[in-house]
Amino acid sequence: MNTQVITVDVMILLAMALAALWTVMTRSLLRSAIGLALVSALLTVLMFRLNSPLAAVFELSVCSGLISVVFIATISLTQPMTQEKVLQHMKDRLERFWYLPILLVLVGIALSFVNFKFDLTLPVAEAEKDARVVLWNQRPLDILGQIIMLLTGAFGIVILFREAKKK
């Protein structure tokens, strides 16, 4: 039973790595954005399986949804290339990216022989089980940081598009 659980997790990880490879190797940017959403969706499944449902919901809604929309909007707002340019681009890309699968296989083989030993126990008396309690009571500065980052992002985008409008 336990081996089955591990096997499912490893299968999800393998699917994630393949999706990531497809994301990087595919010619079309739109397909890359869809591949990235697939990686996020698979990561969400893994998060659910690793007892992190709250973070998984965030990952699914924000990374798989919102970020994909941002990417697709950006791709559609930029001009497509001509057929000639596309062919040349495809040739260049293949020259640059064909090393990646070989590199991955070599690193995978090398890492499968390595056996590191780390002590993973943390010096904390008792771990809090509720993510909401950790976020609101133990790490309130993180919330402040998030608010500042969101405001920074909002102002940044407003300034960027205001400049473009003026021009």
Partner 1 sequence: MNPLSLSLFWPACLFIVILFIIGFYCLLVTFNLIRALIGLELLIKAVTLLLILVGYVTGHEALAQSLVITLIVMEVVIIAVAAGIILGLHRHNKGLDVRHLRSLKG
Task: Give, as ranges, the residues between 47 and 76 that touch partner 1 (CB under 8 A).
Answer: 47, 50-52, 54-55, 58-59, 62-63, 66-67, 70-71, 73-75
Residues with Cβ within 8 Å of 134's Cβ and at least 6 positions away in sequence, in order, are 128
39: nearest Cα among 57, 62, 61, 13? 13
C-alpha pair distances (Å), 101 with each of 39, 113, 146: 18, 19, 37
For residues 97 and 25, what is the distance between their CA atoms, to the nearest angstrom? 7
Among 87, 90, 94, 157, the residue binding partner 1 under the rule CB under 8 A is 157
**Should residue 38 be labelled a site residue for partner 1 when binding is judged by CB under 8 A?**
no
Report the site for partner 1 in 111-130 (rule: CB under 8 A).
111-112, 116, 120-122, 124, 127-130
Least Å distance, CB 63 to partner 1, is 6
17 binds partner 1 (CB under 8 A): yes
Least distance in Å: CB of 83 to partner 1?
Answer: 16
Q: Does position 2 bind partner 1 by CB under 8 A?
A: yes
Q: How far is the CB of 53 from partner 1 (least distance, A)?
A: 8
Least distance to partner 1, CB of residue 17, Å: 5
Q: Which CB atom, from 2 or from 83, has the smaller least distance to partner 1?
A: 2
Size of the site for partner 1 (CB under 8 A): 80
Burial class (CB in 10 A: 0-12, 13-18, 19+), 23: middle
* H helical segments located in the chain: 2-25, 29-49, 53-58, 68-77, 83-97, 99-113, 131-133, 140-166
